[in-house]
Amino acid sequence: MKHSISPYRRPLHLPGGHLQTIVHALTRRVVLPTPYVRERITTPDHDFLDLDWLKRGSKKLLILCHGLEGSSDRPYMQGMARHFFNHGFDVLAVNYRGCSGEINKAKRMYHSGATDDLDLIVGHAAVAYSELFLIGFSLGGNMILKYLGEKGVQSVFKKAVAFSVPLDLHDGVKGLDTGFNKMYVRRFLSTLKQKVVAKQQQYPDEIDLTPLDDITTVYDFDDTYTAWIHGFNGACDYYYRNSSIRFIDQIKTPTLVINAANDPMIGSIARGPEPFKNTDYVQFHLTSQGGHVGYYGYQNKVLWSEKQALHYMMK
């Protein structure tokens, strides 16, 4: 059954995808109803993951997965966490390896398809809850769709929602590395490069910093570092093996994907219905406006995207 979605209407002073992306990211401030409580868990390779909780004693749990170079403290994460917590959910906001404010121990970090870490987190958290729900943003949206496809009928989640998803990673990156989008690339690369430098200090005999200064695109960074560190044969192999478009028709969890036609970061494939033609479980909704992880415009401090996610989960 198709889920009804109310239309998104952009604020009049934000006419384009870039403004709808940037203003939300830079100006929104979210006050959580109670501070996160951090839990650190150990991974099988003796690394760690930092999990941030909002608990109210509910039997319903929402797990949130952030985007590239994000964290549990991003406004889009905190806003969604607050909205669900205020409506009776416990919330677990994930921080990927190296994204919690402290560099992780292992040589590997995180990437768009690191579902082994997500599976560890789900297994750790699920035992205390009768209903589980999952939301991912951008890179995190790609990750949760891949995860749900890998799990198939064995998924423990009741429902899931993904926002601003680059379904085909290579297609998304090609768009990122052109035009005005290079502004986003510079911001991403500044922190990604810092993490590579920190990794080299941990593993001085294994990581070569020589190419770092010449890297100006996300593709080159992934080809030089992301793919190599995580065992892929270059960027194209990394993108192909981790793109959620390959897993959508294996998903058996009711899932809603919401992308915006004016999103500057997801690529052209992610703006069309074609990837969803062979699934009865995944509903795709394309808004004309919204930007990337944007949907700016409040109603009682709640974003349109937060209202749609809760409505879908509760129906």
Catalytic residue status for 111: no
Catalytic residue status for 263: yes
CA dist 62 and 172 (Å) reads 27
Burial label, 104 (beta-carbon count in 10 A; 0-12, 13-18, 19+): buried
CA dist 112 and 129 (Å) reads 27
CA dist 295 and 105 (Å) reads 36
For residue 242, which of 192, 177, 169, 134 has the smallest C-alpha distance? 169
Identify the sign of the CA torsion 309, 293, 153, 277. positive
AA identity, residue 86: N
Burial label, 273 (beta-carbon count in 10 A; 0-12, 13-18, 19+): exposed
Helix axes 17-27, 75-85, angle to 10 degrees: 70
CA dist 125 and 85 (Å) reads 16
CA dist 278 and 293 (Å) reads 26
Catalytic residue of the set 100, 244, 292, 305: 292
User: What totals of helices (H) and strands (E) does the chain contain, helices first?
Assistant: 10, 10
Alpha carbons within 13 A on the beta-carbon side of 259: 27
Catalytic residue of the set 112, 171, 263, 305: 263
Catalytic residue of the set 138, 155, 164, 243: 138
Catalytic residue status for 87: no
CA dist 284 and 144 (Å) reads 15
CA 88 to chain centre: 23
For residue 135, which of 161, 109, 163, 113 has the smallest C-alpha distance? 161
Residues with catalytic annotation? 138, 263, 292
